[in-house]
Amino acid sequence: MGRSDIEISITAPGKIILFGEHSVVFGRKAIAAALGLQTKLHLKGNDSGNIALRFPPLNLEETFKVANIREYYNGNDSAAGQDPIQRSIERFREFYSKYGKNHLTDDLSNCLITLLHSFSYVTGACPGISIEVHTDLPIGFGAGSSASYSVVVSTAMLIYEYAESDKLQKFLSRTGDGVINISDEFRDLVSERAFLCEKLFHGTPSGVDHSVVIRGSALEFVKGVHSNHLETFDGGRAKILLVNTKVPKSTKRQVAILHGWKEKFPEASEHVLNAMETVAKDGVQTLKSMKDVKDLEKNERRLADLIELNHSLLRCIGVSHPSLEKVCEIARKFGLSAKLTGAGGGGLAIVYLPSEATSSTVDRLKDELREVGFDVTEADLGGPGLRIHSLTL
């Protein structure tokens, strides 16, 4: 069997920042967690001579001839000293001006460049590929949709690249019950490729998003002068409501607010930023302790308190928004804790659902949040990362 017979199904979660928004910019610890809303990719080999991509959530549907792609993407041959992503962007502009048919937004362009850049590593025969991608994640609201997309595409293209190599058996192995185990070496390869693709979407990404998407669970993050420190830890699982206020966020504007506040009140700002880091550190210990069911109720109460405290600190530096305060107000009516997640100024909030929250309470809360125009999705935090569900070669 060759590449025309390959079939792959992959999922990767999103992510949220649980603690440490904004303070992370100033060298304080932040905590990100895998969000149990998935991006799903299905790849099927064929003999069409084309690469076809369908991504219905963005109304993206494109088909290109493999021969035409290889005119411009020949073995990932970046010019000496040139950033490979910058070279891919230039290639894509040249390629799409000749072979493309549609007007592309930045998001659509980035999705296609991610695919073509990932494909550029593939050598040898490519009879044809059909790819379909779906996602449960809100796109462009800070829930890791670009990282999740970059990870599933990078994974699919790596498997396709190594499909006829003995290395694939070293990278991936099946257990007796058919589960596909992913080696650390393969995850590292995915991480390297996905990080390059994330540069398309974010310019200078921190590395948090794609790392937690690949590894799952939760991740501690400290931004360094020369490098960033990332450490995955296995915390307890938690349930949340992800609330999309549908108010467009601007990370750049929110960061500017924080910088202005820091210049105006330098001493006070240091105390608040230090308090945010204390909350994040306490959050790590609390999440780790939640694996022990004996003290679960106590740790759930503590996590709820930390969520309230973190939001209050974010509000005091001016990065909240009336829509986010409305989420917190409604959650409080039901005895639950909420906070903004990400840049603030709109965008997303989370409502923490401890185990004592009854289904009727959660349903009434969802109804009230939806009545004021918000989108609401129930999700797990801290679950698995990248998964390969099926692979036929």
Element (H, E) at 134: strand 129-135
Residues 210 and 240 placed together within one structural domain of the fold: no
Q: Quick one: 101 and 69 in the same domain?
A: yes
Distance, CA of 150 to CA of 160 (rounded, Å): 15
pLDDT at 77: 54
pLDDT at 76: 54
Q: Note whether 257 and 341 are same-domain residues.
A: yes
Task: Assess whether 101 and 114 both reside in one domain.
Answer: yes
Residues 270 and 199 in one domain: no
Residue 116: CATH number of its domain: 3.30.230.10
- In this prediction, residue 175 carries a pLDDT of 83
* CATH number, position 290: 3.30.70.890
254 is in which domain, residue-wise? 235-381
How many structural domains are present in the chain? 2
Question: Are residues 324 and 312 in contact, defined by beta-carbon separation less than 8 angstroms?
Answer: no
Burial readout 132-163 (b: 16 or more C-beta within 10 A, e: otherwise): ebebbbbeebbbbbbbbbbbbbbbbbbbbbbb
Same domain flag for 263 and 187: no
Query: How much of the chain exceeds pLDDT 70, in percent?
Result: 95
Same domain, 184 and 203: yes
Q: List CB contacts of 109: < 8 A, sequence separation 6 or more.
A: 92, 96
pTM: 0.93
pLDDT at 101: 85
Task: Tell me, yes or no, whether 243 and 211 share the same domain.
Answer: no
Mean pLDDT, consecutive 10-residue stretches, the chain (393 aa), reads 89 96 88 96 98 97 96 67 81 94 90 95 94 96 94 98 92 86 96 92 85 93 67 77 92 84 92 96 92 89 97 94 97 98 93 96 98 97 94 92
Give 340-373 pLDDT, tens digit per residue: 998 899 999 999 999 999 999 999 999 999 999 9
Residues 47 and 184 in one domain: yes
Measure Cα distances from 54 to 4, 21, 337 in Å.
18, 34, 39
Residue 92 shares a structural domain with residue 186: yes
Assigned domain for 229 exists = no
Query: Domain check: are 184 and 302 in the same one?
Result: no
Q: Find how far residue 234's CA is from the centre of its chain.
A: 18
Q: Are residues 39 and 186 in the same domain?
A: yes
* 104 assigned to some structural domain: yes
